[in-house]
Amino acid sequence: MGAGIQAFEAHAAASASELVVATGTCPSVGIAGGFSQGAGLSPLSSMHGMAADNVLEWEVITTSGEHLVATPDKNSDLYWGLLGGGGGTYAAVLSMTVRAHPTYPVTAMNMTFTYGDNGVSKEDFYSVVALFLTTLPVIVDTGASVIWLVAGNMFAITPVVAPNQSIEQVTALLKPTTDKLNELGISFFQSPHFRSS
């Protein structure tokens, strides 16, 4: 893929061949730039590693103007330097070849809850966050990845991405957290999505 290819374009091309590639969560991020060159955390990292782990070849222009191809066997120092060295650090990337993987079903689920104006105490809010954190190892051990944050008075999972799991399975993984929310009377928003391939 060329250096200007964005995640949504890479997904569309891969999907047309019933394949998937490791990209980030933002559809407009360029894959060959700082994303893959900065390692590239992907919702599929639990299955396929970082985006950089999937790069097979870089086509570059060096600062001295050389047009090179870098692989593990050819210009290998440059190849390994580009994997996590940061965008533009060693050369300008023109294109890269990445490993694509067969598609599989995936469930993604977002969840949010807050404290403050809704009558929820800060203590109750953080007791749920603490409980969620204790369940996190179990969730990721299933192969799921979780992006979560606490910002101000809000907790958000944006999202859990669970390859080869159903909505019911992901709901069960989050059940200790949702049970605690229900027990404390804290309302929450949960949005599941399932893609069969």
* 175-184 and 122-141 helices, crossing angle to 10°: 170
List the structure tokens of 174. 């989050």
Nearest-CA neighbor of 46 among 167, 154, 171, 162? 162
Other CB atoms within a 10 A radius of the CB of residue 191 amount to 11
Reply yes or no on whether the pLDDT at 197 is more than 80.
no
CATH topology of domain 106-195: Alpha-Beta Plaits (3.30.70)
Q: Give percent of the chain above pLDDT 70.
A: 99
Distance CA 148, CA 113 (A): 12
Q: Which residues contact 94 (CB under 8 A, 6 or more apart)?
A: 2, 3, 59, 60, 61, 67
Among 11-25, 83-97, 159-173, which is the least confidently predicted range? Answer: 83-97
Mean pLDDT of 165-188: 96
Residue 87: per-residue pLDDT: 78
Greatest alpha-carbon pair distance for the chain in Å reads 64
List the structure tokens of 79. 């190849």
**Residue 128 near residue 181, CB atoms below 8 Å:** yes
Q: Give percent of the chain above pLDDT 90.
A: 74
Q: Which residues contact 136 (CB under 8 A, 6 or more apart)?
A: 146
Residue 73: per-residue pLDDT: 97
**Residue 105 near residue 197, CB atoms below 8 Å:** yes
- pTM for the complete prediction? 0.79
Q: Specify which residues 148 forms β-bridges with.
A: 157
Q: How confident is the model at residue 151 (pLDDT cuts 50, 70, 90)?
A: very high
Residue 24: per-residue pLDDT: 85
Reply yes or no on whether the pLDDT at 152 is more than 70.
yes
Reply yes or no on whether the pLDDT at 180 is more than 60.
yes
Nearest-CA neighbor of 159 among 90, 101, 111, 124? 111
Q: Specify which residues 6 forms β-bridges with.
A: 30
Distance CA 161, CA 38 (A): 21
List phi, psi (to 5°) of 185.
70, 30
- Domain locations along the chain: 7-102, 106-195
Reply yes or no on whether the pLDDT at 42 is more than 90.
no
Mean pLDDT of the chain: 92
Domain 7-102 maps to which CATH number in 3.40.50.2300, 3.40.50.300, 3.30.360.10, 3.30.465.10? Answer: 3.30.465.10
pLDDT tens-place string over residues 83-135: 877 777 889 999 999 999 999 899 999 999 999 988 899 999 999 999 999 99
